[in-house]
Amino acid sequence: MNKKYIIPAVVVVVAVLAAGYPVSSWFLGQRVEAAHGKLDEKLAALPFVKLVRHDYRRGVFGADETIDLEISAALFHRAPPKTAESPEEARQEPAAASVPLRLTLKTAIRHGPWLDGAFAAASGTSVIEFNEAIQQKVLEAFGGKPPAEIRTVYDFDGGGRSTMTSPAFKTTLPAPGATEDAPITLSGEGLEMAVEFTKGLARYSLRGILPRFELTQSDGPRVTLTKLNVEADAERLFSDEPMFYVGAQKISVARMEIDPDQSSAEQPKPPKVSLKEIRYDVRTLASGEFIDMIAQTGATGLLVGEQDYGPVAYDFSMKHLRARELTALNREIMALYAKPEVLQDTKRLLRALAPMKGKFIALLLDDPVLSIDRIAFRLPDGDAKLNLSLRLVDAKTGDFTNPLANLILLGKLDATAELSIPVSLIKTLSRIGGDEDEEYEDEEGAGRDAATEALIARLVQQGYVTDNNGILASRIVFSEGKLRVNDKPFNPMSMMR
């Protein structure tokens, strides 16, 4: 092509692109604004959060967003004990619960399609601010730096990824019920978190790490966490339930140490407690109309003084729960978080839960299985283990309202338990509640030990328990109204003879 045509052609292309860039930038900005507008719906699903203001000002190449939120202060204060009060006083909320915590999320957004050397629909940088009194304390805690900085990149398909970084912090707070000269000091290294998400937060994955966190009270214990990791991979189950997700969540702590109170030299110091490789894994799995919720918790080591009780485990599960019934119940329970004063009062909480009885019953009509899959810990004389599962077989709504409900439901209960436990632990438990006089306690303890050994011998002889070098084991099954222990019919009343 002749040079006299090439140069004009390039100029025309550049001109077209230059003219089209503002149009594409404006179009992408419009899409980002529409996506951010849906945040209101998701915030409305959080009962303990109130959206005060959502201001979005869009230009051609960028936008500024401001979101003001309020969180009920009652969430951070325990309700005072109930005392006699007049009807007028009863209608008044505690002063501490009347002033909510207010925070502001400010985001500066840049529109694409070309940002920082890469194609993207938009990018945003967000900071969190508090009201003036709290903001000053927050800045002091974080060494004059913002408590968190959030950077987000939006893809053209509506998804994106966010990173959040937080600097190291240290702050002092008054301890609940303690004197002013016994404050609590909180400190930690910077938090790092990364989130990837699809359009409308239909799916997300999260990874986060806090290298170190420490809580110290001047006249109390010191608690230290090392290398706290958080992971989550989740997907929204129903489009009309914006906050109900299925998937996996994992929390792990490399080490947790609890150093007891060292202020008193007169009393013996309690032993130091150390946990190693703590884990908390929760999976919520969907299958058709039902979901399973499986939790596995534990630690590879639990050191109390010089004694190691690890590994320890506590695993539990709820399986075959009808998903729609569970989400409906979850929505009503979540709504209680808008009333923290109710959550802190047992009687009011029970009254609030009473109307949900029908939804609880509905969950039991599909033969769900509730299980303690494993409780395990180590003792000097051997390991202790327990598992338990419960299920109502073919339960009907009328069974729960029948005057003979207890008998009817007992006849439909299927329960299985397996346990193994050292004899030494049974003897220790049998001594609980002995006389405080040490000399008499020794005499009583010896008597209780003898009675425990006689009972164990009797159970072993009858075949209800097996004894393997000081470790007792048994399998208990209750089904169709009948109780069997180690496959033998068992009458609890026979133990009273």
Of 141, 167, 193, which residue sits at a domain end? 167
Question: In the predicted model, what is the mean pLDDT of the chain?
Answer: 83
Q: Report the SS3 class of residue 48.
A: coil
Question: Would 356 be classed as within a structural domain?
Answer: no
SS3 341: helix
Q: Per-residue pLDDT for 196 more than 90?
A: yes
pLDDT score recorded for residue 172: 87
Q: Tell me the helix, strand and coil percentages in the chain, rounded to 5.
A: 30, 40, 25
25-61 confidence digits (pLDDT tens): 766 677 777 777 777 777 777 777 888 899 989 888 8
Identify the weakest region by mean pLDDT among 170-179, 422-431, 483-492: 170-179
Number of domains in the chain: 2
Q: Which helix (H) or strand (E) holds 212?
A: strand 203-217
The yes-or-no verdict on residue 257 having pLDDT over 80 is yes
Buried b (16+ CB within 10 A) or exposed e, 355-383: eeeebebbbbbeebebbebbbbbbeeebe
- Identify which of 473, 447, 254, 470 has the alpha carbon closest to the alpha carbon of residue 379: 470
Residue 445 has pLDDT above 80, yes or no: no
Q: What are 107's strand-pairing partners?
A: 65, 126
What integer is the mean pLDDT of 234-240? 92
pLDDT at 436: 47
pLDDT for position 126: 92
The confidence band for 323, taking pLDDT boundaries of 50, 70 and 90, is very high
Q: How far is CA 20 from the centre of its chain?
A: 49
103 class by beta-carbon count within 10 Å (0-12 exposed, 13-18 middle, 19+ buried): buried
Interatomic CA distance for residues 188 and 170, integer angstroms: 7
Task: Kindly state whether residue 409 falls inside one of the protein's structural domains.
Answer: yes
Q: Which of 125, 144, 167 is a domain's end point? A: 167
Residue 274 within a domain: no
Q: Which of 147, 167, 187 is the last residue of a domain?
A: 167
Hey, what are 375's tokens?
A: 């409780």
Instruction: Give me Rg for the CA atoms of the chain.
Output: 30
Portion of the chain with pLDDT greater than 90, in percent = 41
- Residue 84: the pLDDT is 45
Lowest mean pLDDT of 94-108, 374-388, 467-481, name the range. 94-108
The pLDDT of 400-419, averaged and rounded, is 91
Q: Rounded CA gap, 77 and 91, in Å?
A: 18
pLDDT at residue 437 tops 50: no
Q: What is the pLDDT of residue 43?
A: 76
CB 349 within 8 A of CB 297: no
Q: Quick one: pLDDT band at residue 15, thresholds 50, 70, 90?
A: very low
438-462 helix and 423-431 helix, angle to the nearest 10 degrees: 130
Question: Does residue 469 belong to any structural domain of this protein?
Answer: yes
What tokens were used for 361?
């019953």
Q: Kindly state whether residue 479 falls inside one of the protein's structural domains.
A: yes
Query: pLDDT at residue 5 above 50?
Result: no
Residue 399 resides in a domain: yes
Question: If you search the block for the tokens 């601010």, which residue do you land on?
Answer: 129
Q: How many CB atoms sit inside 10 A of residue 65's CB? A: 20
CB 137 within 8 A of CB 108: no
The reply to whether the predicted model has a pTM over 0.95 is: no
The tokens of 478 are what?
A: 């209750």
Domain assignment present for 418: yes
Domain span at 408:
380-497
For residue 314, pLDDT over 90 is answered with yes
Cα(106)–Cα(68) distance, integer angstroms: 9
pLDDT at residue 10, rounded to an integer: 43
In a domain, residue 225? The reply is: no
User: Using an 8 Å Cβ cutoff, are 74 and 100 in contact?
Assistant: no
The rounded distance, in Å, linking the Cα atoms of 24 and 428 is: 75
